[in-house]
Amino acid sequence: MTIPGDLKRSLRRLREVRARRPVGEESPAFAGWRDEMADALDELSRTLLLGDDRARAAAEAAAARVEAGGIRARLG
């Protein structure tokens, strides 16, 4: 099976963003990274082939945004 080009690009972007994970988990940088991960997961959710996979990626994106908001709230 050949992997569609848009799916390859989305997976590559997810790997690139994941590789930039900051060290501290309670920092503005980490919250920003979680938002960036959410964007990459949203993109991936639009390119995945199976509906269950698309739903899981979208749910992970939503959870990442909630986590980023929680970090920002705790940091004030």
Residue 4 is assigned to a structural domain of this protein: no
- The structure tokens listed for 64 are 């990442």
Q: For residue range 14-66, what is the model confidence (pLDDT) as tens digits?
A: 999 999 999 988 999 999 999 999 999 999 999 999 999 999 999 999 999 99
Nearest C-alpha neighbor of 24 from the set 32, 16, 36: 32
Residue 9 located in a structural domain: no
pTM over 0.85: yes
* Cβ contact 38:65 at 8 Å: yes
* 17 part of a folded domain: no
Q: Compute the distance between CA of residue 55 and CA of residue 68 in angstroms, rounded to an integer.
A: 20
Query: Is 52 part of any domain?
Result: yes
Domain of residue 45: give its range: 24-75
In a domain, 1, yes or no: no
Q: CA 57 to CA 10: how far, in whole Å?
A: 11
* 11 domain residue, yes or no: no
- DSSP at 20: T
Please check whether residue 36 lies inside any domain of the structure. Answer: yes
Counting the structural domains of the chain, the total is 1
pLDDT of residue 25: 87
In a domain, 29, yes or no: yes
Say if residue 1's pLDDT is above 90.
no
Question: How far is Cα of residue 36 from the mean position of the Cα atoms in its chain?
Answer: 6
